[in-house]
Structures are given as C-alpha cells and as structure tokens.
A and B are shown apart, each in its own frame.
Chain A
Amino acid sequence: MLQQGGNGAAQRAAAACRSFDAQLSDYLEGADRPEVTTHAADCEFCGAFLADLLLARSACGELPEAALVEEPPARIWANVRATLVAEGLIHPPGRQRAWLEWLLTPAPAAALTAVILLSLFAARSLVHEHRQAVKDVAELVVGRDVIANVSQMEAAFRAQSARLNPTIERAYEEDLASLDGEIKECKDTLARQPEDDLSREYLASAYTQKARVLESALELGDSDAR
C-alpha cells in the first residue's frame, strides 16, 4: 500500500530545527536568542548538538594563547624538513612549514575552529535529514495509520504480556525482535535506495506480520485472562 500522506508533527519539528539552526550563530556570538535554548531543551538531537558546540568553544578558549602563536624550535622544523626531503616526499623550499606557520597564527586558528564547527553543523544536518528520511519512507510505504496502529498494539501487548505463559511470551518477543530487525534493515536500505522495490515489499510485509503477531498475542492474552 502506498500512501502519500504528510506528517504534520514531523514537519513542525523540522521547522523548529531549521529555526534553531538559523539562530545558532548569533546565539554563539552572544546575542540574546532564548528560542535556541528552549528548542535545545525540547529536541534531544539539537540539545546534544548545542552541548557539543559549547564544549568545543570552551575547549578552544582554554588553549593558552602562546600555544597558538609560539613557533616550535627551529631545529625541529629543520629535522622534519630534512627527513621529508630525503625521502622525496617534499621538495624544497618548505611550503609545509609556511602552511603550519600560517595555521598557528591566531586568525587562522580561529578560522580552523570555525571550520570544525561548520563541519559538525553539516554532519548534524545530514544525520538529522537521514533520520527524517528513514521515518518518511516507512510512512510512504506502509502508511502512517498502519504504523500508529501497530505501535498501539505493541503498547497493549507490553501492558498485558505478563498474563502469558512465560515460554509463549518469550516466543512472541523473539518474533517481534526478528520483525523489528527486518523493519530497520528495510528502512535503512530505502533511505539509501528509495527505488528498491524489494525493500519496499519486505518492509510492508514485515509490518503486516508484526500486526498479526501482536493480534495473536493479544487474543491469547485475553483468553488466558479469562
């Protein structure tokens, strides 16, 4: 079954994350942006990201200034250059030294920090997008209602599984774990290759089987309770 439904909650969450992203630089530069901390408290992912950034900034701030400007002893560069030239890995004059010298002056050091922060930022966005894509593809293939129903059935099963004979309960748990693994594998594949028909078919089938397993468990739990 293919459903082209949107997800209002997911879209709202994504909008809040985008707003967080837009205001983050100002916040880190000291501007008053209460939305950033509010969203960081609500969104686990953005909260963790903000914590990483603050930690990285703090670590940079703790570096002694001398460490950024002081040049290593000349004999160290001479030895390194001589070795690299001897091995044919570089050719004189020593451009690497110039590069390192440039890098260890205060302005490039700040630029390097910015690059690291931007890389973290980009990586975070990619992971976030991937997570959203995995969620969306499952909803497209199976349908949001089906996913919600299966979740409700699973919650009901968890609530009453203690009524079951322990060996039977264990069997159901094994089945559900197997199907969850199948669902995860298909979702991950589809996030990378959305056109993969076989993964779509197996994803839909896994949800159907999971619903049947839960239905069976709930029926048996009811009959045991009687």
Chain B
Amino acid sequence: MPGRRPFEHRAVACLSAALALLVSAGILPAAGQGRVEKSFRAIPNCRIHISNPTGGAIVVRGWDKAEVHAVCVTNSPKVEVDSEPTPANAEAERLDFATHVLNPQATLQERMVSYELDVPRDSNLVISSPEGSISVENISGDDWINSVKAAISVTDGAGLIQVRSLNGDINLVRPSGHIEATSIMGNLTITGSHSQKINAQTESGKITFDGDFLPIGDYLLKTYAGDINVICPSSDSFSLDAQSLRGKMDNQFKLRRKSHVPYSRLGGSSSFGTNGPGEASVTVKSYSGAIHMRPRP
C-alpha cells in the first residue's frame, strides 16, 4: 500500500498470521462460521447423544470432571446446533446435541458442523454422523457409534463398544471392553487389544488384530473378501477355528490338532486346533480373503 510505513506492514502481517492461527486452531471461527461453547453439570454415567446428519468432525474425550464441555462450530449461519440437557435445571442425566439445517438451500459444505466435547469418563455415548470423522478417547462407559462413511477411531475404550461404519475404516486402539465392530467396505483395525469379547466383521475390508486373546474370551473375526491378519503372543491360550474357502491360510502357530475335524471345516483352507490349553475361543473366517496368523516376536 503506497505511503504505509514498514512497521505498519509488519504489524498487519503479524496480526493476519495470528488470526489465521486462531482460526485454524478452532479458537476463532472462520468467515461465515459460528462457534457455540457450552458447559453442563452431569450425573455419573450420563448419556450423551450427538446427531450430526450433515457430517463433520466429532471429537469426544473423557476427563475426570463431572461436567460436559462442548464446542460446536457451524460452517455457516444456515445450520445450527441444539443442545438440550435433561432434566433442564439440574445435573444432566442426558444431553442431546443435534444439528439442524435452517436453510434448505445450504450447500453440503455449508451444512457441516464439528463437535468437540470433553465429557465425564463414565459417560455413555450415542453418536450418529453419516460422514466426516469420529474420534472417541478415554471413555469407560458404553459407546454406540454409527456412520455411513466416516472414519471412526476409539482409543482406550473400556465399556461396550458398538461401532458401525459402512464404508469408513474403524480403528480401535487399546480397547478393553466388549467390541462389536461392523463394516461393509471399511477396514477394521484393532491394536493393543485387551478385550474379552470381540465380534469384528466386514465384507470387503481387511481386519487386523494385534492384541491378547484372554482366557475364556470369545473372538470372531470375519470378512468376505478382505484379508485377516492376527498377531498375538505365542503364549496365549486359545482354541482356533480358522477357515477361508478360497483364500490362503498362513498360520504360524503350532497348534495341537483336535481329535476330530468338523465336516464343515474340510473345504478350502482351514486351521483347527489349540494353542496352549486352548482357553479362549477364536474364530477367523474369510470367504475369499487370505488369513495370516503370526505370534508376536
């Protein structure tokens, strides 16, 4: 700008950079965006529902306070977030967050809303969002998460974890609760597992399991066309029933064969026997994918 001094140039540049940083960090909303920040006192094991039918990023973290702190950013004034505690004038037993489109002419981008919540660790979550991303961390209550194509990540979940993303990948890190994870096209990855019950199924995605098979645990890993990779300590005690009708079987465990093999396990590639005393029940099935089972080095 003609006539402006170098000092002023530097000040404008610094201010612009600071604003950009604040926007990108989500502290300030970008042009057209709206930001809503709210806090609610909550009872133990409160239920939190997030319904975000227009999609966007959702992050929920467990903390030790008996309080829910929510930051919601709307992409435009054409969409809004309702937050409703029940009961209305006391510690919340249930909290509902919902996205509503105010203007039907809003574009897909303008409809998006992101949620960032800190909630009591023992909260029970119900999250529904068709797309975007969903991340849940450090929750000991139950999680029910449903999506069409969002990538879902649950870290250190200790309660019942029911997750479904039809086309998105599901990533479960250090889970210790019961797991029900299903997808059609997405990959399922379970790492550092200490869960006693897992039911993981996808049709064309891959399944990767890296964790422990606990005694009296019950595990089902099943795909139609995707490969299945299983890694666990060689000392784990489990009874294995693995079968792929058209895929390859690569089992590096030295199983003790059972006295009889069921007739239904005779077709395709199969591996049937016990590792150690065979306490956990492990079923691994694929129709046309390969199955790899390796002891952890």
Interface residues of A (CB under 8 A from B): 165, 167-168, 171-172, 174-175, 178-179, 182, 185-186, 196-199, 202, 205-206, 209, 213, 216, 220, 223-224
User: From A193, which residue of chain B is reached at the shortest CB distance?
Assistant: B267
Contacts of B225 in A (CB 8 A): 182
Indicate if the CB atoms of A198 and B167 lie closer than 8 Å: no
Those of B185-214 within 8 Å (CB) of chain A? 185, 201, 203-204
Chain B positions 103-160 with a Cβ under 8 Å from a chain A Cβ: 108, 130-131, 146, 148-149
Contact status A171-B53, CB under 8 Å: no
Given contacts A198-B245, A202-B287, A220-B148, contact A172 B166 (CB under 8 A): yes
Q: Given known contacts A172-B148, A175-B185, A216-B166, is B267 in contact with A198 (CB within 8 Å)?
A: yes
When distances are taken between beta carbons in the complex, the residues of chain A under 8 Å from B108 are: 165, 167
Q: Could you write out 8 A-B pairs with CB less than 8 Å apart?
A: A171-B148, A172-B148, A175-B185, A178-B185, A178-B203, A198-B245, A199-B245, A216-B146
B174 interface residue (CB < 8 Å to A) = no
Q: Is B176 an interface residue (CB 8 A)?
A: no
In the complex, whether B224 has a CB less than 8 A from a CB of chain A is yes
Q: How far is the CA of A193 from the CA of B106 in the complex (A)?
A: 54
Taking CB atoms, residues of chain A closer than 8 Å to B130 are: 165, 168, 220
| A120 to B243 alpha-carbon distance, docked (Å) | 41
Chain B residues near A216 (CB, 8 Å)? 146, 148, 166
Interface size class of B (residues with CB under 8 A): 20 to 34
A180 to chain B, nearest CB (A): 11
Cβ-based interface call for B259 (8 A):
no
Which listed residue (B148, B185, B224, B267) contacts A196, Cβ 8 A? Answer: B267
Whether the pair B53, A220 counts as a contact (CB closer than 8 A) is yes
B264 within 8 A of A: yes
Q: Is the interface of A mostly helix, strand, loop or mixed?
A: helix
Shortest CB-to-CB span from B195 to chain A, Å, is: 22
CA distance A46 to B89 in the complex (A): 74
Closest chain A residue to B167, Cβ basis: A171
* Interface contacts beyond A172-B148, A213-B166: sample of 11 additional A-B pairs, CB < 8 Å, sorted by A: A165-B108, A168-B149, A171-B167, A171-B185, A172-B166, A178-B185, A198-B243, A198-B287, A199-B287, A216-B166, A220-B53
Interface hits, B244-297 → A, CB 8 Å:
245, 264, 267-268, 285, 287
Do residues B204 and A178 form an inter-chain contact, with CB atoms below 8 A?
yes
* Residue B184 at the chain A interface, CB threshold 8 Å: yes
In the assembly, what is the distance between CA of A39 and CA of B167, in Å? Answer: 45
Q: Please tell me if the beta carbons of B148 and A198 are within 8 angstroms of each other in the complex.
A: no
* Among candidates A171, A186, A213, residue contacting B149 with C-beta atoms closer than 8 Å: A171
Q: Which residues of B contact A185 (CB under 8 A)?
A: 287
- Interchain residue pairs A-B with the least CB separation, the first 7: A197-B264, A175-B184, A171-B167, A171-B149, A198-B245, A202-B287, A175-B166
Residues of B contacting A182 in the complex (Cβ-Cβ under 8 angstroms): 203, 224-225, 287
Tell me if A167 and B149 are in contact (CB < 8 A). yes
Q: Cα distance A99–B5 when bound, in Å?
A: 109
Among B167, B184, B243, B268, the residue within 8 A (CB) of A209 is B184
B203 contacts across to A, CB distance below 8 A: 178-179, 182, 206, 209
Given A165-B108, A168-B130, A198 and B285 contact (CB-CB distance below 8 Å): yes
CA distance A171 to B167 in the complex (A): 7
Task: List residues of chain A with CB within 8 A of the CB of B149.
Answer: 167-168, 171
Separation of A209 and B166 alpha carbons in the complex (Å): 10
The smallest beta-carbon distance between B107 and chain A, in angstroms, is: 11
CB-contacts of B59-74 with A (<8 A): none
Q: Kindly state the separation between the CA atoms of A175 and B166 in the bound complex, as whole angstroms.
A: 7
Give A216 to B267 CA distance when docked, in angstroms: 35
Given the complex of chains A and B, what is the CA–CA distance between A168 and B184 in angstroms? 14
The smallest beta-carbon distance between A187 and chain B, in angstroms, is 13
